[in-house]
Structure 1
Amino acid sequence: MQTEIKKSRLENLFIDGTIDDETVANIEKMLTRKKVEKLHKYKILYNEKRDAWYTANPQDYNKRIQRKTLGELLDALKPYYIESTSTCLQDIFEEWLDYKRTITDSPNTICAHRKHWKRFFDGTDFFQIPLQEIKVSDINSWANQLIKKYNLSSHAWQTIKTIPKQMFEYAKDHGYIATNPFPELRVTVKFRQVSKPTSETQVYNTDEYHKIIEDLWKSYDKKHEPRFLSIVCNFLMGLRAGELCALRWRDLDMKKWEISIVQEMVHMNAAELSNPYYDVYKASGQIVILPSQEGRKGVYVLLDHTKTHTERVIPVVHKAQEIFKLLKTNAPDAKPDDFIFGYGSKYLNLRSINSILEYACKHISTDVKRSHKLRKTYASRLNAAGLPLDQIRACLGHSNTATTLGYIYNPLTPEESLSIMEKAFSS
């Protein structure tokens, strides 16, 4: 009764404008925690060795509930003592997303979550069921119907499943539910089978490779813009498109002929980037918004890390060395922080890479394969030449060779492949 009276007084203070809504929320949380602590009949103890608080489960004395702080422990006990509410997954999505921002370094992850939320989950029946009423059978029914409705592959399901999975974990950790039923999910329908694409669609074969490089050199000789040679270089380095765009002269060691891959360019939703949460990253230089993009819905930014948050050093082969020497000669005043493939006030971006590829493919009358196919072509040519798989993995910046194997295709022409087969059976 006292808690309700205090909350009533709190509401009056809020209405009068004496305190703001954030303070109200914090005080209400404190009052709720005090109420839970009073109702809980078992001792709450601190384990110094584990640096955590724990107590007995109200429904099973032999089980423990443990959390890092006393407040988090009381939040976890809340569902056992406070009457059921109608809070649903739909209600806590934004709250969970704010929390997710604090535990990821990738703004694009947040953008992807919001995109998947709008497409698959927002406003659907399952996400409006009160959390405390959701049964395992509800989760099973929802998940299997979703997979059938959108004909999802296993990979696509694993990607979008992240959202409800982590939301249930968040709901349990923050006291919305006492137990998390999501781990008991069982998928019984069949996923859409995905066959490995053909080499013709994934890599440039030997003829295409030589013709594109020849065409790009012609474009460079005509316009003298480094962007054309960026594609030639990436056939020889196999970088992610964002890594290629972010290359600066300081990354290139022209004595050892090695290049350090330390950051990348990404395309971000401007609205997401305007969230105050990212202010500290922008102020520290961890996120740098590139110039001349005012008023755009999407903007190019530089991150101070690569996709995998690891740096790597790759050798620069002779043909790439010649290109870098030429670019350096043509830009004698270039500073260490200048982009290698910049020209004038412009910088190479993700869209321009694909535009250059489209331009060249049209000239040589071949199907366009997007920028990521340069990376696969690089890996496939190294593999065909006999370079050990683990070295290819290291050059690509993969954490395991299983991922690298997915990049390996046949980069040879049909005639070249047949010639090798003939040699194999010639004796």
Structure 2
Amino acid sequence: MNGYNTENHFYDGAKEFYDLLKFAVENGKVDVQQIQEEYAMIKKQELLNKHPYNIYLGKDGKWYTYLPDKEKKRVKVKRTTKQAIEEAVIDYWQKETHNPTLDDVFQAWNDRRLLLKQISDATHLRSVRIFNRYYGDIRDVHIKDVTPNYLEDFLERQIPKYNLTAKDFANLKSVTKGFFKKAKKDGLVTFNVEQVYMDMDVSDNAFRRVVKEDCDEVYNEDETKIIMEYLHKNLDIHNMGILLMFVTGLRVGELSALTPKDLQIEKITENKVETVYGKVLVSKTETKYLKDGKAVFEVVNKAKTEAGMRTVIVPPDYIWLLKRLLRQNPFGEYVFMYNGKRMKEEAFRKRLQRVCKNLGIKYKSPHKIRKTYGTILMDNEVGARFITNQMGHTDISCTTEHYYRNRKTDDRKAMILNGILEFQDKQAQ
């Protein structure tokens, strides 16, 4: 082809045309507003030409036409002027033509919640991940092509496809409910997503059950004792943070967000007896989200949940820990700082891993410390209201169902059973 490149020739021609158009606009040779108006008129005329029914003047002087209807096939509409009836037709077909994809609807819903500060950046990111995981293969399906049966079938098929737990499925349903409610509000779908859920035939047996052993969910009595003794003997800023979690049940994100003002020491005098106790004010937490492809960690001025905004009482025997933490960094922005920077959640996770490895104890995450704390309170029967206040739970059922575990070791369990009269074998003796 004598070295002639049609692709480059096309590109050069297009660029030259763009430059000429830009020159004409900048020098007033082209009236952009007039072009936009004429373009809009052309698009409206295309919609009117698409309209399958006649527009006519009735004997009563009103203008009439029909509009398609899914239930009645068509409905008659009337307006006082021809322009008004044409605008009604154009409006109808503009809405019908507007048929965004599932991805478009989800993104608009999720981004709007973030813009209105209804959710955090972390929640926004979590919703994106849920949508991408399950809707990835059908994200380009247009919203108006989705029927209740299609959505119901899609949701049910995700359970065996990903071997979902009931919690996984609840997260999927939550995101689905959110952006389909927005779609209905915007007139993109006519069905109620809640009704789709009610019509689904999914039994509990369909979900993958996760059996979690007590030994994996909490630190048992011996492990707790060994770890706390180690932390006492090695009191650097990392270990003091872990120790504070053991005696307060703080979430690790709450721990890393503490400021010196959040640690308070109170004195009360009754009958000339002075009592000193400590408090931790929880009103902030660390959050994580992606920005420009990079992980961002920051402190937000709100707790994980509404009940998470709380005052945690510190055992009197650990007032010394609060005092030492306040002396450690009295003028710092945060309580837990290292090399002039706030310590992130990950710093405590890594230190806890190292402590467990050094002690030969199976590592369990900082959240398991929180479960250990909740279990200790339950075992000591300190009262439901006190427990929920300390834990930041709205209801004691949350603590009993998700946090309470047996912390006794196997040999301790055997000793307890051995002390029960009915289980003692007199004949063997």
Superposed pair shares fold, TM > 0.5 = yes
Is 1:413 aligned to 2:409, yes or no?
yes
**Shift in alpha-carbon separation, 1:233–1:79, aligned structure 2, 3 A:** farther
**Deviation digits for residues 85-136 of structure 1 (CA, Å, limit 9, x no counterpart):** 54331332322222221252321110001111221112x23x4443223222
For residue 295 of structure 2, what is the aligned residue in structure 1?
298
- Which residue of structure 2 aligns with residue 203 of structure 1? 218
- Counterpart of 1:234 in structure 2 is 245
Q: Out of 172, 180, 184, which is 1:160 matched to?
A: 172
Q: What residue number does 1:117 align with?
A: 131
CA contact (8 A) 1:79 1:175 kept: no
The runs of 5 or more residues in structure 2 that have no matched partner are 1-24, 49-54, 56-68, 73-86, 268-277, 425-429
The answer to whether structure 1 residue 386 and structure 2 residue 381 are counterparts is yes
2:359 matches 1:364: yes
- The equivalent of 2:163 in structure 1 is 151
Unaligned runs of 5+ in 1: 1-12, 40-56, 61-73, 273-296
Query: What is the rounded CA distance, in whole Å, between the counterparts of 1:80 and 1:175 in structure 2?
Result: 13
For 1:70, the equivalent position in structure 2 comes to: none
Q: Is the 8 A contact 1:89 1:129 kept in 2?
A: yes
1:308 maps to amino acid: T
Runs (4 or more) in structure 1 with deviation over 6 Å come to 57-60, 78-81
Give the equivalent residue in structure 2 for 1:217: 232
Matched, 1:251 2:249: no
Is the Cα contact below 8 Å between 2:177 and 2:193 reproduced in 1?
no
Structure 1 position 343, deviation (Å): 3.8
Other-structure match for 1:315: 313
TM-score, structure 2 normalization? 0.70
Query: 1:292-321, CA deviations, whole angstroms, 9 ceiling, x for partnerless residues?
Result: xxxxx1122010010013421121102321
SS in 1 for 2:287: strand
Match for 1:369: what amino acid?
K
Give the aligned length. Answer: 337
Residues 58 and 80 in structure 1, CA contact (< 8 A), matched pair in contact too: no
Show the counterpart of 1:291.
none
Q: Secondary structure at the match of 2:234?
A: helix
CA distance 1:319–1:97, shift in 2 (3 Å): same
Find the counterpart in structure 2 of residue 141 from structure 1.
Answer: 153
Q: Comparing 378-387 with 199-208, which one deviates more in the overlay?
A: 378-387
Measure the CA separation in 2 of the matches of 1:211 and 1:145: 47
SS of match in other structure, 1:137: helix
Matched residue SS, 1:308? coil
CA distance in 2, matches of 1:158, 1:183: 16
Partner of 1:94: 107
Looking at structure 1, the residues matched to 242 and 71 of structure 2 have their Cα atoms a distance apart, in angstroms, of: 63
Superimposed CA distance per residue, residues 364-383 of structure 1 (whole angstroms, 9 cap, x where no aligned partner): 11110011001001011121
Structure whose CA Rg is larger: 2
Aligned to 1:348: 343
2: distance between equivalents of 1:97 and 1:17?
38
Match for residue 371 of structure 2 among 371, 376, 393: 376
1:149 is paired with a residue whose SS is helix
Q: SS at 1:254's partner residue?
A: strand
Q: State the partner residue of 1:8.
A: none
Distance in 2 (CA, whole Å) between partners of 1:369 and 1:211 is 14
Match of 2:18 in 1: none
SS of the residue corresponding to residue 177 of structure 1 reads coil
Cα 1:267–1:313 change in 2 (3 A) is: same
CA–CA separation in structure 1 for the residues paired with 2:287 and 2:215: 28
- State the Cα deviation string for residues 59-94 of structure 1 (Å, max 9, x = none): 79xxxxxxxxxxxxx99xx76994455433133232
